[in-house]
Amino acid sequence: MLGQYFYNESLRKTIIAFGSLFNDIQITRKDSSGEEIQTMKVPLAYGPKQKFITRLTQDPGATQQIALTLPRIGFEIQSFDYDPSRKLNRTIRQKKVSNASDKKLKQMSTQYTPVPYNMNFELFVMAKNSDDGIQIIEQILPFFQPEYTVSIKEVPEMDIVRDVPIVLNSIGYEDSYEGDFQTRRAIIYTLAFTAKSYVYGPVTTQQPITKVQADTYADLPTAAPTRVQRFTVEATNTVGGDGDDNFGFNESTSEWM
């Protein structure tokens, strides 16, 4: 069973959906008179928080040609946890018939119910002054009460679209300013999220059954009996018929005396 290749991109789509929630956040800066002097879009990147803090501490004077600009948003996956409270019956299968115009090419695609997993994310907001950080946080918090639901087309070939709740678990705050006046300050907000996603198994396809044959014998197989009757049902190409029609079959019976 293991070793059969399939890739539904279930986890990848959840990661993309999570990141897309925060990829259009903007901040504005004003002068002492209240006039707007700058508007900027906050960059978003995937990576650990410590990586960006290290870049700040290694170049406190911003002497490199490309410095780390603030504010900035980043996120990363922390863990995957199985969620037994959302478990579905493992024997249930979802089915879909292909849309081929030729009935001979129609196939039945089947897939077992998905497995529930919680994806835990950590999102950090890094800013060099308090107002920039507060602006970003205030554009995030009102949408999570404490969850925000996104729709994901998880398995397109099976037409499966699922609403995935993303829950805000906690918010942390830290000010990494330490040392002399040359040290760059970084105010960091850390937000913990849980995405209640599903992981899907392989999709199997099979041709429709067009012929059924049943043989009847006079005794049990251990007695090596002779065949008495054969009953055959075979589908025919009925012009203009639909897949749900209950006609278009040939029945035949053969008997041996």
Residue type at position 1: M
Tell me where in the chain the CATH 3.30.2000.40 domain(s) lie: 10-205
- Whole-angstrom distance, CA of residue 204 vs CA of residue 198: 18
Cis peptide before 208 (omega within 30 of 0): no
Query: Which pLDDT band, with edges at 50, 70 and 90, does 199 fall under?
Result: very high
Query: For the domain bounded by 10-205, which CATH number is listed?
Result: 3.30.2000.40
pLDDT tens, position by position, 9-55: 999 999 999 999 999 999 998 888 888 888 889 989 887 766 665 55
Region for 52 from its dihedrals, namely left if φ exceeds 0, alpha if ψ lies in -120 to 50, beta otherwise = alpha
What is the pLDDT at residue 16? 94
pLDDT tens, position by position, 204-228: 887 777 788 888 887 777 777 777 7
What would the mean pLDDT of 85-90 be, rounded to a whole number?
A: 89
If you ran DSSP here, which 8-state letter would residue 37 be given?
E
